[in-house]
Amino acid sequence: MIAPRGTIGILGGGQLGRMLVMAAAQMGYRCVVYAPGRDCVAAEVAGDFFNREWNDAGAMAAFAQQCDVITWEFENVPVEPLQPIAERLAPHPRALETAQDRLNEKRFVEQLGGRPAPYAPVDAPSDLAAAVERIGTPGILKTRRDGYDGKGQWRIGNARDAEGFSHTGEPLVYEGFVDFAAEFSVVLVRGRDGEVRYWDSAENVHQDGILATSTLPASDAVAGQVEEARALAKQVADALDYVGVLTLEFFATASGPVFNEMAPRVHNSGHWTIEGAATSQFENHIRAICGLPLGDTATIGASVTMENVIGKDAATAHECLADSAAHLHLYGKSAARKGRKMGHVTRVHRT
């Protein structure tokens, strides 16, 4: 167990890190953030900040020396520089390796009995025609690595779109377009002793590939599929001997839950848990990695909505507070670029 006053290292400097630091501070932990680049909003609330490149081995070693346990908030942290500090990491970096490549991730989940949309690797221009021929259209081409919030994705409506697609040579995966009734996620926490707890599954609505809202309770289309989805998520967590919060995203379809993707970290579709659940995803992630007992994940209230504040909307976001049920979270990011997640608003309704 990591005792309070211990130090937690966080790899990545975004809003997920910021909210992890805030939960850790509440329990008496000190956090140190390691992230390259600018606008590291997690560093603003942390005790120390290594603003260094991932492959700066000296800085990574100095960072690790300060930390009793190290976790990440960003799933594209390169795995190689983490090898020397692997024994201090929770979850284990094998979870990163699995989730960083969409193709590996789909194969891994399929081996455990999950059902992704039909897919095919596209490594060369000629592979796309064959993939479209086999899987059909419409479909979506996605980069295997480094995609997020709908970036690195191209809709292929018909065979002509496929012919016109100019391939840069980076590895891609083509997947069939899923005819879904709704989207939902399973957010779970797994402790060091293997105990697993789930939050209620929110129904998620995406716009332009970016999460717009999460709502609870979910519709009947989702509710009937949560049990099967949870069973798969637990298998994934057990197979990785996972410690912390893990998220799996699904499409609810007429033939059951179709696996979309996994995130080996706290997730935007779990932000509602800060005010909407007895214990938030952030607190339970900290509890899990520190070897503390897990907190109750029950939903508080009759309904909860979480709405993301995207781009320029941040300038007027405080207006939501005219509604006394609203809780505003702004992440302190400076540039309100189009499509950038700037904050979120959660509303918990007791009746």
**For ligand AMP, what does the binding mask look like between residues 130 and 159, x meaning CB under 6 A?**
----------x---------x---------
Distances in Å between the Cα of 254 and the Cα atoms of 114, 136, 179, 209, 224 are 16, 19, 9, 22, 11
Q: List Cβ neighbours of 235 (8 Å cut-off, separation of 6 or more).
A: 112, 113, 114
| Site for ligand AMP contains 175 (CB under 6 A) | yes
Q: Quick one: 204 or 297, whose CB is closer to ligand AMP?
A: 204
| CB distance 215 to 305 below 8 Å | yes
| Site for ligand AMP contains 52 (CB under 6 A) | no
Min dist CB 220 to ligand AMP, Å, is 20
User: Which range of residues in 93-101, 129-137, 175-183, 223-231 is near ligand AMP by CB under 6 A?
Assistant: 175-183
User: Which range of residues in 28-36, 45-53, 173-181, 195-203 is near ligand AMP by CB under 6 A?
Assistant: 173-181
| Site for ligand AMP contains 182 (CB under 6 A) | no
Residue 348, CA atoms < 13 Å, CB-side half-sphere: 14
Place of tokens 């952030």: 282
Q: Distance between CA 54 and CA 77 in Å, rounded? A: 7
**For ligand AMP, what does the binding mask look like between residues 104 and 123, x meaning CB under 6 A?**
-------------x------
Place of tokens 């190290």: 70
Q: Quick one: 123 or 149, whose CB is closer to ligand AMP?
A: 149
| Site for ligand AMP contains 162 (CB under 6 A) | no
Q: Quick one: 154 or 177, whose CB is closer to ligand AMP?
A: 177
Q: Quick one: 268 or 346, whose CB is closer to ligand AMP?
A: 268
| Site for ligand AMP contains 183 (CB under 6 A) | yes
Residue list 190-209, contact with ligand AMP (CB under 6 A): 206, 209
Residue list 258-287, contact with ligand AMP (CB under 6 A): 260-261
- Paired residues of 153 in beta bridges: 142
Q: Distance between CA 166 and CA 24 in Å, rounded? A: 46
Helix (H) and strand (E) counts in the chain = 10, 17
| Site for ligand AMP contains 178 (CB under 6 A) | yes
Q: Euclidean distance between the first and final Cα of the chain, in Å?
A: 39
Q: Distance between CA 203 and CA 249 in Å, rounded? A: 10
Q: List Cβ neighbours of 275 (8 Å cut-off, separation of 6 or more).
A: 300, 304, 327, 346, 348
Q: Quick one: 27 or 210, whose CB is closer to ligand AMP?
A: 210
Binding residues for ligand AMP, total number by CB under 6 A = 12
Q: List Cβ neighbours of 35 (8 Å cut-off, separation of 6 or more).
A: 11, 12, 13, 14, 17, 42, 43, 49, 50, 51, 74
Min dist CB 183 to ligand AMP, Å, is 5
Residues contributing to the site for ligand AMP (CB under 6 A):
117, 140, 150, 175, 177-178, 183, 206, 209, 249, 260-261
